[in-house]
Amino acid sequence: MSAPLNIAVAGLGTVGSGVVRLLADNAESLQRRCGRSLRLVAVSARDRNRDRGADLAGARWFDDPVAMARSKGVDVVVELIGGANGVARAVVEAAIESGRGVVTANKALLAHHGYELAVAAERKGVQLAFEAAVAGGIPIIKALREGLAGNRISRVYGILNGTCNYILTEMRRSGRDFADVLAEAQAKGYAETDPSFDVDGVDAAHKLAVLAAVAFGARVNFKSVHVEGIRHISALDIAFADELGFRIKLLGLARRTPAGIEQRVHPCLVRLGTPIAHVEDVFNAVVAEGDFVGQAVFQGRGAGQGPTASAVASDLIDIARGSRVPTFSVPAAALDAAKPMPITRHVGAYYIRLMVTDRPGVIADVTAAFRDASISLESMLQRSRDPKEAVPVVLVTHETRESSMRRALAKIAALDTVQEPPRVIRIEEP
């Protein structure tokens, strides 16, 4: 039996308390699995007196988490403070500098500084682990970095934000609009008071940038992620998608293309019958495609105390067992500084909804604009007729290039008969 792994936890919110609880509840099984005990030796949080439903008696209290990260007798620092900079970053940097391993759930930090932190950690010979940063309890980082590491991954995508998936699921089930469902989600605690981080796609983009780095062995490149959120998705679009045989999901998607690495977060139409279309509520799912494995799908809870604690524990177990795997699947020095592919070069099918004046010639004008941009149409729907009000017209295109689509849409938006900006949702094929 080796010496215990001495663990310090910075941040005792929902996740931090869950980690403390897991280390206590499953201490015996962890010891059996690691051949040594995983011992909580220090904790730090803002408020010492809050009851967290977790026993902190054996752990030393630190008001300053950076001092804790540097203190003697700590082997690994678990950073659960959050945020791309500030205290969280200082804690992680201090831990690495002091030769401690780091386990973090902080996707913002990794999205912004992942490459530099990986370089620093590898230089110091310590592990920087972050299973909990992407898709909560789903062990997708390990799957990409190890389980599927024999493959050349061509595409990885998934439902990476549970709040958005809950809102979209609820909108479809109830037929209500975004604002209404968001308010309810906030009341239930499924969405933050300031929901922009989730609903504008930023959180999913952080996770996607990390996922892409691991999948492709590339430097994290958050700045190049094309991001759109779900605020503009209407009940009408969800109903039309349903009629056409699709679900609307906020996907994060990264693809290796000859033109560079494509990274985008936006609402997508996904076909019913594909695994991703049936992932509902707060669940997350990730699909990875490799040259040998084909398609592999991973589903589970993307957030919450238990699943996130499970992911943190798996990193701690790896460290306790002495596993040493490169941070982003290849050594930092060998990470690809791959060029990003701009969204204008994206090729795919599109769903477009227009609100038009219901009079003869409208469809002819619209379809002419597509023809002029060499875009061919797969289907067209006009369900309601009303000469006094704007009526929806839905078009689905065959594969085309984003730049062509934008050209066509500019023309269409300028038509007298088109009364609102066109709503465009990309279609993602399985």
- Residues in touch with its own copies (CB under 8 A): 18, 22, 25-26, 29-30, 32-33, 35, 131, 137-139, 142-143, 146-152, 217, 273, 275, 278, 290-301, 306-307, 309-314, 316-318, 321-326, 329-331, 334
Of 124, 207, 223, 249, which one is the catalytic site residue?
A: 207
SS3 content of the chain, % helix, strand, coil (to 5): 40, 25, 35
User: Residues 48, 61: contact at Cβ < 8 Å?
Assistant: yes
Residue with smaller CB distance to its own copies, 81 or 279: 279
Cα distances (Å, whole numbers) of residue 327 to 259, 267, 314, 423: 26, 30, 15, 40
Number of alpha helices (DSSP H) and beta strands (DSSP E) in the chain: 14, 17
Pairing of strands 377-381, 294-301: unpaired
Minimal distance in Å, beta carbon 40 to its own copies? 14
User: Is position 207 annotated as part of the catalytic site?
Assistant: yes
**Rounded CA gap, 25 and 146, in Å?**
28
Residue with smaller CB distance to its own copies, 146 or 365: 146
Residue with smaller CB distance to its own copies, 152 or 232: 152
Minimal distance in Å, beta carbon 238 to its own copies? 19
Residue with smaller CB distance to its own copies, 301 or 353: 301
Give me the amino acid identity at 323. S
Give me the amino acid identity at 76. V
Minimal distance in Å, beta carbon 219 to its own copies? 13
Instruction: Report the run of H or E that residue 98 belongs to, with start and end.
Output: none
**For residue 81, which phi and psi values (nearest 5 degrees)?**
-85, -45
Tokens standing for 367? 């379809």
Minimal distance in Å, beta carbon 122 to its own copies? 11
Q: Which of 28, 27, 55, 61 is nearest to 42 (CA)?
A: 61
Residue with smaller CB distance to its own copies, 71 or 314: 314
Minimal distance in Å, beta carbon 348 to its own copies? 24
- Which residues participate in catalysis according to the annotation? 207
